[in-house]
Amino acid sequence: MRILFYGTKPYDKIWFEPMAKDYGYEITFVESACTKNTLKLADGYDAICIFVNDYVNDKMVDKLYEMGVKAILLRCAGYNNVDIAACEGKLVVLRVPSYSPEAVAEFAMALLLTVNRYTHRAYARTRDFNMSINGFMGCDLFGKVAGVIGTGKIGQAMIRIFQGFSMRIVAYDPYPNPDLPVEYLPLEEVLKQADIVTLHCPLTEETRYLINKDTIAMMKQGAYLINTSRGDLIDTEALIEGLLERKFSGVGLDVYEEEEGIFYEDHSNDIMPDRTLARLTTFPNVIVTSHMGFFTKEAMQAIASVTLENAHAVENGLPLKNQVTHT
């Protein structure tokens, strides 16, 4: 089987190359993202493998089908960047539904702890031997109310972490899990009660801009907002307005709604053309990281393993347990 990997970085090769040899697969890595302009590179391959900031629309699906490509392998859990309906009857789409929920949840907690206790700014200050702690006062998390939006595997890992901090946990999910030690409430009530709101839901038409001007108004004054899921869950312009009105004590973002073409690349010598992102980084109580919540050894190993197992299932006509279908 020949697989073309789009949008690859050096760390992808570390995990995929040795595993691919075990399967006898021929893998080609390209740094370019999967777009309509780079799709021709897939000619002659059995499958393409893409990541969160690649995309495949309906016209690209038709082109891949004409080229004889059989599968789109997503080395991630989300699939909102692929036109699943257009793939029906032409290409199979498989994802990695769960690689390390703990990796993302632990990173979400790291963002919260950092933005709450200003460890990022303290590090920068003491590097200049400025030992003043003025302006770095945080709050105890003990006894606070944590609001978890989305209680899938990552949300559940987040709940376990919050339990360790002896926090009261409220949650919203359209499909409540009665076995979880949380109090399920309507979204509005979660936002009203929570001192910390953390997002762990997929991006769908229903969840796009879940956090907007109206829902921000429902939140507590001085709340913390953490997003390690998908950037489009938050209306960034509304978030900036909330920050200007001092609604938030702190915001931690590992994702951004316009991150395509920006995240995972070095722009340190560039003038940032995205004014909204540039504005976000000016707030002293905001942390923006580059979609790295998943980035642990355990998660990368699991992603590589499941992705190649998905390819093996396609090649050998086995049950496609991780297939994404249009419903």
What's the Cα-to-Cα distance from 284 to each of 98, 111, 251, 288, 316, rounded to whole Å? 34, 14, 10, 11, 53
Rounded CA-CA distance 306/322 in Å is: 9
Distance separating alpha carbons of residues 132 and 168, to the nearest angstrom = 33
3-state helix, strand, coil in the chain (%, to 5): 35, 15, 45
Give CB contacts under 8 A, 24+ apart, made by 162-169. Answer: 165/141, 166/142, 167/141, 167/142, 167/143, 167/196, 168/143, 168/144, 169/145
Please identify which of the residues 75, 95, 200, 291 carries the catalytic annotation: 291
Residue type, position 215, single letter:
T
Chain centroid, CA 196 distance in Å: 18
Is 259 one of the catalytic residues? Answer: yes
Tokens of 231: 């950037």
Annotation says 230 is catalytic: yes
At CA 8, angle to CA 24 and CA 291, rounded to 5?
Answer: 130
Residue in 75, 95, 200, 259 annotated catalytic: 259
Residue 236 CB-half CA count within 13 A: 20
Residue 66 · residue 50 · CB < 8 Å: no
Point out the catalytic residue in the list 75, 95, 230, 257: 230
Q: Is 245 a catalytic residue?
A: no
Q: In whole angstroms, what is the distance from residue 226 CA to residue 104 CA?
A: 12
> Catalytic residue positions?
230, 259, 291
